[in-house]
C-alpha cells in the first residue's frame, strides 16, 4: 500500500519522499473511499496496535480498490 502511494507521489511530483509522507499526500488527493485503507496502512506502519478494519477480507477489498485506482493513475 504505502510503496504504491510513494510511487504514485513520485510519478505525480517528480520528488522522492517517505512512505509515511506519501500516504499523507495520498490522503489529500484520493477520494474518501480510499481513506480508510490508507489510514489503516499508516497506523500499522507506525505500530499503533493491531488492525482496526472490520475484517481481513474487507481490508483486502479496500486495498485492492486503492491499488486499482493508483495503477490507473500511473498509466
pLDDT in tens, 15-58: 999 999 999 999 999 999 999 999 999 998 988 877 776 788 98
Please, what is the end-to-end C-alpha distance for the chain in angstroms?
17
DSSP three-state, residue 67: helix
pTM, entire model: 0.85
Amino acid at each position: 500500500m504505502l510503496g504504491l502511494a510513494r510511487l504514485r507521489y513520485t510519478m505525480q511530483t517528480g520528488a522522492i519522499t517517505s512512505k509515511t509522507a506519501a500516504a499523507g499526500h495520498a490522503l489529500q488527493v484520493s477520494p474518501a473511499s480510499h481513506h480508510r485503507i490508507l489510514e489503516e496502512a499508516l497506523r500499522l506502519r507506525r505500530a499503533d496496535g493491531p488492525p482496526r478494519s472490520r475484517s481481513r477480507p474487507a481490508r483486502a477489498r479496500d486495498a485492492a480498490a486503492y491499488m486499482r485506482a493508483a495503477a490507473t493513475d500511473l498509466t
